[in-house]
Amino acid sequence: MIGLSSTGAAELTFTVQRPEQVQTFASSGEAQLALLAQTPEMNIRVNKLTGRIKRHAHPQSHHFLYLIQGQIELTVGEETRRIQAGDFVTIPQGSVHAMQRVGTAEALFLDIASPPDVGDVIWHE
């Protein structure tokens, strides 16, 4: 997590978070998001995808996804690919994208945004 040093600068501290300690901060019928860490340069969230996330873009932030388990169908622009556990994805800032879980297994992935995308989303549907 982030604390402030005696100079007022942000500094990270050593932390370990157990799954039961992670608080969900956004939830819909399609996904649950939980913030794991945030600095002025990036944030890291875990996303449990249970359905579909509609087409949207982040005009200020690049997004990097690492699929932990399950499969998703990811569309970026006009290109659609099936992503599976172990895959790493780069979504450049401003790229319109959508995703949907494939199959019945839970899809779980890390979502790293740089810079942090708090409120930085434009929905396209």
Of 56, 66, 51, 52, nearest to 96 by C-alpha is: 56
Quick one: average pLDDT of 7-20? 71
Q: Each residue of 90-117: b (16+ CB within 10 Å) or e?
A: ebebeebbbbbbbeeeebbbebbbbbbb
Of 104, 99, 95, 114, nearest to 44 by C-alpha is: 114
The pLDDT tens digits for 47-63 are 999 999 999 999 999 99
Query: Please, which pLDDT band fits residue 1 given cuts at 50, 70 and 90?
Result: very low
Higher pLDDT, 4 or 34: 34
The pLDDT tens digits for 57-110 are 999 999 999 999 999 999 999 999 999 999 999 999 999 999 999 999 989 999
44, two tokens: 């890291």
pTM for this prediction: 0.83
The amino acid sitting at 63 is H
The superfamily CATH assigns to domain 19-123 is: Jelly Rolls (2.60.120.10)
